[in-house]
A and B are shown apart, each in its own frame.
Chain A
Amino acid sequence: MCTVCGCGGGTLTIDGRAVPMRAPAKAHNEGGTRTWRPAADTPPVETEAVHATPGHLHFGHGPAHAHAPGLSQGEMVRIERDILGKNDALAAANRRRLAERGVFALNLVSSPGSGKTTLLVETIRRLAGRLPVAVVEGDQQTEFDAERIRATGAPALQINTGKGCHLDAHMVGRALDELPPPQNGLLLIENVGNLVCPAAFDLGEAHKVVILSVTEGEDKPLKYPDMFAAADLMLLSKVDLLPHLSFDAGRAVDYALRVNPKLRVIRCSATSGEGFDDWLAWIEAGATRARNR
């Protein structure tokens, strides 16, 4: 029996040729082939089994032995699951664990060489005695960054992703097992230096913080929009170097706001200390919210 409409497939014939019941009068090549309407602007994908010989279009050769407009002959099983669903579930679990401890967690993302680690070292140095900090470092290889953080006295765990281009929520969950962040403290997660891939992966953080250094191009927000769209705060870093560069800071900020109108921007320098009052005040406000939740 036909799985589309329940008819006895291939039993009706006209002029000796099998014609499925309720078949359309003509070849149905327009419209979608699924049980729902294709998304707007999507060209329909023709998947039906049409056996064509000169003067003859046969719609009954598919597994259902019948054709109905808008349906393919295979059985469609709706799933509707987010590709990142597993990561998002693990990120939600991380977020719960962090909330239970009152921890404010930030996921720091940028291209390689933007000065993330130097910025973290200076941040930890200035927060000493004000807020306990733990750091998770993500790099493809080496433990160099974790060693730099440990030299400040803050606990740090290094994740090496091997060939991986980003941290994911599973890795960070493992890191939380190994290095429980301090109660009511700050967890800084330094992601793999990569302005593309980490944008898609929620780790359970409160905010993504994107760092754009002025030694890069001011058009980076337009060239890598996903990351700037995913972030809540942009640190425009190394601003002490601006007098020596042709970098147009105003344009960089304008481009970033085109991608993400809600993006907060702080101009800073780990060398001169410019902007650190704002950056640390932003952190402390977040940490207070996390503590009191």
Chain B
Amino acid sequence: MHEMSLAEGVRGIVEDAARAHPGRKIAAVVLEIGALAAVEVEALTFCLDVVLRGSVAEGARVDVETTPGTGWCMQCAANVPIAALYDACPHCGSYQVQPTGGTEMRVKALELE
């Protein structure tokens, strides 16, 4: 259940950022979560619902933008789309694919009311 730790991290980042905008209500927290990131989005949003209570972002909407997974295929010497860490290259079928994108977990923005 490391999603709880991640949710605590989100709360910390949101509270830090909100200090620059005193008195403003936070309408939404925008997260960017890669398709290959080590987190289950459903579980994270569930945890955020609990963790954001009592914070400056209590009741805020949580928007999650997912970025697609990409990997470097060593056979094709090209970046290719992959949906999971164990996916084969969609072009040549090789498993020699190293993830290059879609592993990020970031707080992208806050929407202030």
Which A residues fall within an 8 A CB radius of B? 34, 38-42, 45, 47, 63, 72, 74-87, 164-166, 168, 196-197, 199-201, 221-222, 225-226, 228-230, 255, 257-262
Query: Taking the nearest CB of chain A, how far is it from the CB of B91, in angstroms?
Result: 16
The smallest beta-carbon distance between A19 and chain B, in angstroms, is 23
- For chains A and B in complex, what number of residue pairs have CB atoms within 8 angstroms? 125
Q: A258 vs B109: C-alpha distance in the bound complex, in angstroms? A: 35
Q: Give the CA-CA distance A124 to B56 in the complex, in Å.
A: 49
Q: Is B39 an interface residue (CB 8 A)?
A: yes
Kindly list chain B residues whose C-beta atoms are within 8 Å of the C-beta of A222: 86
Q: Are the C-beta atoms of A83 and B1 separated by less than 8 Å? A: no
Q: Which of B9, B27, B39 contacts A86 (CB 8 A)?
A: B9
B63's closest neighbor in chain A, by CB? A45
Kindly state the interface size class of chain B when it binds its partner. Answer: 35 or more
28 A-B pairs with CB atoms under 8 Å apart are A39-B32, A39-B65, A47-B61, A74-B27, A74-B28, A74-B112, A75-B111, A76-B111, A77-B17, A77-B110, A79-B13, A79-B17, A79-B106, A79-B107, A81-B107, A82-B104, A83-B9, A86-B9, A86-B12, A87-B9, A165-B2, A196-B38, A200-B38, A225-B84, A226-B38, A258-B95, A261-B74, A261-B95
Interface centre among A78, A84, A196 (most CB of B within 10 A): A84
Taking CB atoms and an 8 Å cut-off, the chain B residues in 75-113 that contact chain A are 84-86, 88, 95-99, 104-113
Chain A residues within 8 Å of B2, by CB? 165-166, 196-197, 200-201
Residues of A within 8 A of B107 (CB): 79-81, 83
Residues of A with C-beta under 8 A to B68: 39-41
Which of B's residues lie within 8 Å of A, judged by CB? 1-2, 5-6, 9-10, 12-13, 17, 20-21, 24, 27-28, 30-32, 38-39, 61, 63, 65-68, 74, 84-86, 88, 95-99, 104-113
- Asked if A229 and B1 make an inter-chain contact with CB atoms under 8 angstroms apart, the answer reads no
Assuming A39-B32, A47-B61, A72-B111, is B38 touching A82 (CB within 8 A)? no
Report B-chain residues with C-beta under 8 Å of the C-beta of A80: 106-109
CA A229 to CA B69, docked complex, whole Å: 14
Q: Are B86 and A34 in contact (CB under 8 A)?
A: no
> Residues of A contacting B24 with CB < 8 Å?
75
Q: How far is the CA of A221 from the CA of B24 in the complex (A)?
A: 46
A42 touches B66 (CB 8 A): yes
Contact A81 B106 (CB under 8 A): yes
Distance in Å: Cβ of A214 to nearest Cβ of chain B: 20
Shortest CB-to-CB span from B17 to chain A, Å, is 5
Which residues from chain B contact A255 at a C-beta distance below 8 Å? 86
Residue of A whose beta carbon sits closest to that of B12: A86
Cβ B65 vs Cβ A38 within 8 A:
yes
Contact A229 B65 (CB under 8 A): no
**C-alpha spacing A75/B28, complex, angstroms:** 10
**B38 contact set on A, CB distance < 8 A:** 196, 199-200, 226, 230
Shortest beta-carbon distance from B69 to chain A in Å: 10
* Residues in chain B near residue A229, CB distance under 8 A: 85, 99
